Amino acid sequence: MARGRIRLGNNIPVQCPLIPDPFVPYHCPGNRTLYAVCRGSRRTQARYLRPTPFAPVSDLFLVAVSDFSNCDKVAYMDAAVVLPIAYKGRPGGNYLFEYENDDRAIAAGRDLWGYPKKYAAITMSPTARRVRAAAVRHGKTILTLEVDLSRPVAGLPQPKVTPHFNFHVLPCAEGPGWREARVIERDTSPDFKLLSHKTGRARVALKSLPDDPLGEMAPFEVLGGGLVVGNFHAQGKNGWGRVRETIRNGRALRG
């Protein structure tokens, strides 16, 4: 049996890291994102953003499922609820709930950039007319999304959700609480190469688990949805994140 190569990685176990090191660059040709634009309660958004430095800017939010099966570094699926927010007056997006189906992708998003990723089994089933996606966590379907591409929606709002602003919390090792929090900005959108974008009538269902309160986004109106296909690239300065603020012991420090 060939002996494994011992490395010094940037994540544990350093001898054989979970996250491919370096994680950037990575590419996903033919990346597909199914999404719906929903109108809900701005008050609910504000309640969930209260522990963060972010503020809601709209009663709209996105429900999205992305297929990264063609990713050259880690093949995975992603499902999320994304809020359009403002950070110190700058518009962007915050991933309120996010799920993926591969531990390497989950660890990379959480450890490197503060995305709130958890595990779920995620599927996307496209046909000529309809595309359906679902996320199942602990045996319960917490998110379903279906878009009928044969029924286009004219004038569908497109909330601004880039750049991403994440609130990355580092817990204390010695006891309860957190030692440090960082606001991390990341935006891969300048390198995305759009191939097609179709809209359609959409249906969305969000269900809660005790630690996954997606159902609290209800009631909401689904304005429509779409399917975006393109070549995704996380590379160079746009592939990595930028620390915009560090909060330690109640004091905010510039990143």
**pLDDT, one tens digit for every residue, the chain (255 residues):** 567 677 789 999 999 999 999 999 999 999 999 999 999 999 999 999 999 999 999 999 999 999 999 999 999 999 999 999 999 999 999 999 999 999 999 999 999 999 999 999 999 998 879 999 999 999 999 999 999 999 999 999 999 999 999 999 999 999 898 999 999 999 999 999 999 999 999 999 999 999 999 999 999 999 999 999 999 999 999 999 999 999 987 666 555
DSSP codes of every residue in 64-127: EEEEETT-SS--EEEEEEEEEEEETTEEEEEEEEEEES-HHHHHIIIIII---EEE-EEEEEE-
pLDDT value for 140? 99
Query: Can you tell me the distance from the alpha carbon of 137 to that of 118, in angstroms, rounded to the nearest whole number?
Result: 9
pLDDT value for 128? 79
Query: Can you tell me the distance from the alpha carbon of 185 to that of 208, in angstroms, rounded to the nearest whole number?
Result: 28
The reported pTM is: 0.95
pLDDT value for 127? 83
Q: Where are the domains of the chain?
A: 26-166+195-230
Fold type of domain 26-166+195-230: Acetoacetate decarboxylase-like (2.40.400)
Query: Can you tell me the distance from the alpha carbon of 103 to that of 80, in angstroms, rounded to the nearest whole number?
Result: 16
pLDDT value for 6? 75
